[in-house]
Amino acid sequence: MDPTRSTNIFSHAFGQIYFAFMFYISYFIHLLKLPFIRRDNDGRFIDPIRPPKAIIDGLMENFDDSRLINANETVEDTYIRMIKSKQYETAMRLAKKFDLEIDLIYKNMWQHNEKSIHLIDECLAKINDQMWIINQCIDCIPRQLPVQRYLLQFGINLIAHHQQQQRQQQSEDSNVFNEIRTKLSIHLNRLDLYEKILKSKFGNDNDDFVDNFDQEFFRQFRQKNPFQLAIEHAHQADIETLSVLFAHEHRKLASHFFVILSNLPETLPPSNYKDLIELAISTLSNATDDDFLSITNIDDDDDYENKFYANNSDQLKFKSDKPVDEKYLTEWFEYRAQIILDLTMLIDYSLELLRIGIDGQLSRLEDLYSELDLYSLFVYENFTLTITFEKFRNLSIDEKMNLLFNGEKNDNILFIRNLFEKFFEKITVYCQRKQLVNVSRKELLRNFFLNISRMDFGQCLKIFEIYTIVNRTTEEIRHLKIIDDPCDLIELALECIRSYDRVSDLDLAFKLMECLPERDQAHLLNVEQNNDDDDDQWLDRFNRINDEADEIAFHLSMVEFLCENNTPITVKELIQISATTTTTTEKQLSFVKKVLNNFCKQRTTIDSLEWKQFFLNLKDLIKKYLTSISDEELIETTVRCLLWSNNEYFIQMAFNHIDMMESIRGNRSKKLNTEKGIQILRQVAKDYLKYAGSQPDDVMIKYARMCLDFIHTIDPNDFDTNDELNFIQALQLLNQEFPGKEWLPIRIKNIGQQDLLEMILSSARNAHTKIDEILKIIHLLNLFKSSDNDDNDDEEQEARLLNIIGEKAIENGDYKTANDLSIQIMDRNLGHGKSGWKLCYQICCLMNKELEFESLLTIDQRLRILSFVLAHCPDTDVNMHYDLLNQLKNLKQLHVNYLIEPKIYINFHNGQSTTLVQ
């Protein structure tokens, strides 16, 4: 043995013994002082006195690493602290000196240093914990691709070495290591795939692809199966990656090729993935059943794939488990083209995709291609589409033509012409591909102009101005390309005038008529001139069409008349109204009412000449178009509209159309007969009152009075008219004398008579004092009348009213008014056979209860009122008679006390007065 080494061992042992001895001596001294430890003010112990630092330093002088060890921590804690502070050399010395676990140092070095091949060899390889190393090979992803590859290969080699050592043992650990090795192999396979993808994107000539290695991306990349990677990169339009996946993972992805292609963005031009389509077609078309059987055998159950097809069931039909045929490919191309169209409206891309299929000998795509090609005209020529391709595809040629000019307006006439030419070319090709019969060019022209006239009549006018035959030579007419026949030109123009929809286009219709040739230009317009028979036939057609033009001119004049009088209409609508075979008389009368009402609304005043001219034009209109309307119906409709015009001038004008006496039989067509006129006037007056307001100066009341006054002029003895006039007078009195309420005519008409009187009396506190006004209003409204119309009816009505008014006065404490009413009843003797005695009886009952009556009534007045009630009260009411007699007895005693000789006038139901003297 080396003597130097033995000396060091001895010195170390001695130092440890010395350190332990001094430590326990210090601790013993500390225990002796423990009873003398003081407490602070809060009762807490003061920290014990530690050994002086000089002692500890002296004890540690014999150790090489004395400064590393603290008296308050163990060696293990110091070791961990050294590792955390990355003092690996010092930690290594402590580990060797005190036989600590060295793996902690290497693990910390691995976790806190940049991963490299050198670090793997010098650090990871020296760790004894094999499972930890394997986990690091699985979980750790270095920043550099070569290091990642080296790490995975290191893990595979480590497992192989471990399995070689335990080859004789068949335990569960062997199965675990097999699974780990499989996972590492998959990660290595994904790394190879990722490397190829980087090379395809950044080139293979230099190491640029290595610099673009993304460890975070690869962390997710290696966890996904090829199908998931293909779907996700398809969504990202990563064609380079898909190309690598198709080549590298060919066997696993073959059955999903067209599903993956279906997940490329619809906004991606098909030319970008044309190679992938051709690769998929060639691969799946040339594959055998054995190829698909082997593909099926290597496919494992995958949650992502199952969920994907569960969420995209429409794509499941394109998952192929056998070689594909023409039907399969055609279905996929149509599906993909339709999806591109629905989601993006990029028809060019749909057409481009279909062209790839057609070039691949898929002839059944021709039909869809022709439909989309025609549909593209509506998409790319500034159209605002209101129809989907599915609906468009099912339309007929004429219906597709109708959509041609439903887009945005364009004032450029060249645009209109070019658009039609493009459409005509496409529709020709469309018919050829669809193998349809030739479409009539004349019919297409007709539909073209009808649609453009409805869309923008101004553009239609511009076309006719360009192709007008007026002031053109024969040679110029022959060079017209679209419309070269004058008769066709006139027919198309007349069709446009009959079809325009906006009433504001009337001026344009007149200008369009100016573009048409006159009759005397026939010899200049016949450009063909083949033979005499053809000339005669053409001339007959030309004259017949000009007759139609004259009729259209009259239509326009009538439309102009209606538009000037606030009834906007088009020629088409006027012709529809005049069709008596389909239009009923009620509808025609409704149109006449509309014309008259609009005329009245447009004007506030009118003179007789203007009205006469309007009425004559209206008669011409009816004679030409509304033939089912008779003169009597016209006069009646006119009177009704004028009376309901809410205009004083028109109401006066209506009176001029009503005959004020029975007309001669032959003159009835000029004016409305008296009976019918009165009936209409009475109804109009009631309607005006129905909608009148509560103000006395409401114009509705004024118009109602005008109608009623005119009826009164015709028949002064008409009771209904007089009642309505009285009603208006009562309204004025109510508003004038009782302004506290809103007196709506319709409410007064429908309210009960008792409720109306209550409203009058409650309109003000002193309303009951206006007795004469109330009686007049009641008389005008014919309220409170008895059922029998005898001579005493008015007196009974007045007695009942006075009773009610008196009761209201008593209720308001106005005894004077109540007494005045009782005196009025007695003076007019409204008690015999009437109800006037009731108010007097109430006053008799109050005479002994209310002190106010003592000062209000004299003895004679009391005697009189008692006598009146006794004379007119019912004979059967014994209690009332007894009460009245008691009051008379008391009144007699009162006279005796004051030496007064009363005179009592008693009428015992016989109308005679008897004088009793005491």
Closest CA to 226 of 192, 262, 272, 176: 192
The mean pLDDT values, 10 residues at a time, for the chain of 918 residues are: 50 68 71 57 49 44 50 82 89 88 89 89 88 89 87 88 69 75 88 84 68 81 88 91 86 89 93 91 72 48 84 89 87 93 90 92 87 84 74 81 60 64 72 62 76 81 76 62 73 89 90 82 58 69 87 90 89 82 74 88 81 88 86 88 87 85 54 87 86 77 87 84 82 76 77 73 72 77 59 67 76 74 75 68 73 68 76 74 77 65 47 39
Burial class (CB in 10 A: 0-12, 13-18, 19+), 258: buried
Domain stops at, among 520, 540, 555 = 555
String of DSSP letters for 665-688: GGGTTTSB-HHHHHHHHHHHHHHH
Please check whether residue 119 is in contact with residue 113, taking contact to mean a CB–CB distance below 8 angstroms.
yes
- Three-state DSSP at 658 gives strand
- The contacts of residue 637 (CB under 8 Å, 6+ apart) are 589, 592, 593, 596, 629
Distance (Å, rounded) from C-alpha 109 to C-alpha 84? 10
Secondary structure in 3-state letters for 795-838: HHHHHHHHHHHHHHHHHCCCHHHHHHHHHHHHHCCCCCCCCCHH
Domain-embedded: residue 476 = yes
- Tally the domains of the chain: 2
Q: What is the pLDDT of residue 264?
A: 93
Domain-embedded: residue 15 = yes
Termini Cα distance of the chain: 176
Please check whether residue 374 is in contact with residue 439, taking contact to mean a CB–CB distance below 8 angstroms.
no
pTM: 0.50
Domain-embedded: residue 848 = no
Please check whether residue 96 is in contact with residue 88, taking contact to mean a CB–CB distance below 8 angstroms.
no
Distance (Å, rounded) from C-alpha 147 to C-alpha 879? 129
Domain-embedded: residue 134 = no
Please check whether residue 300 is in contact with residue 382, taking contact to mean a CB–CB distance below 8 angstroms.
no
Q: What is the pLDDT of residue 52?
A: 46
Q: What is the residue range of 3's domain?
A: 1-49
Q: What is the pLDDT of residue 59?
A: 41
Torsions phi, psi for 46 (to 5 deg): -85, 140
Helical segments of 345-412, H only: 347-359, 366-380, 389-393, 397-402
Distance (Å, rounded) from C-alpha 893 to C-alpha 876? 27
Distance (Å, rounded) from C-alpha 217 to C-alpha 221? 6
Q: 789-822 burial, b for 16+ CB within 10 Å, e for fewer?
A: eeeeeebbbbbbbbbbbbbbbbebebbebbbebb
Closest CA to 454 of 572, 546, 369: 572
Torsions phi, psi for 826 (to 5 deg): -70, -40
Distance (Å, rounded) from C-alpha 686 to C-alpha 774? 24
Domain stops at, among 555, 582, 600 = 555
Largest CA distance in the chain: 177
- The contacts of residue 807 (CB under 8 Å, 6+ apart) are 839, 842
CA triple 531-535-538, angle to 5 deg: 140
Please check whether residue 712 is in contact with residue 722, taking contact to mean a CB–CB distance below 8 angstroms.
yes
Domain-embedded: residue 506 = yes
Burial class (CB in 10 A: 0-12, 13-18, 19+), 693: middle
Place of tokens 């109540």: 818
- The contacts of residue 150 (CB under 8 Å, 6+ apart) are 117, 120
Distance (Å, rounded) from C-alpha 877 to C-alpha 372? 105
- The contacts of residue 896 (CB under 8 Å, 6+ apart) are 918
Contacts 24+ apart (CB under 8 A), 515-520: 515/461, 515/464, 515/465, 515/468, 515/470, 516/468, 516/470, 516/489, 516/490, 516/549, 517/469, 517/470, 517/486, 517/490, 518/546, 519/543, 519/546
Please check whether residue 500 is in contact with residue 570, taking contact to mean a CB–CB distance below 8 angstroms.
yes
Is the Cα torsion angle 872, 877, 878, 884 positive or negative in sign? negative
Domain stops at, among 539, 555, 571 = 555
Domain-embedded: residue 546 = yes
Place of tokens 């003010």: 41
Torsions phi, psi for 440 (to 5 deg): -65, 125
Distance (Å, rounded) from C-alpha 191 to C-alpha 218? 8
**Two structure tokens written together for 655:** 């009176």
Domain-embedded: residue 447 = yes
Domain-embedded: residue 527 = yes
How many other CB atoms sit within 10 Å of the CB of residue 133? 23
**Two structure tokens written together for 43:** 């009762």
How many Cα neighbours within 13 Å face the side chain of 840? 30
- The contacts of residue 557 (CB under 8 Å, 6+ apart) are none
Distance (Å, rounded) from C-alpha 237 to C-alpha 301? 27
- Three-state DSSP at 833 gives coil
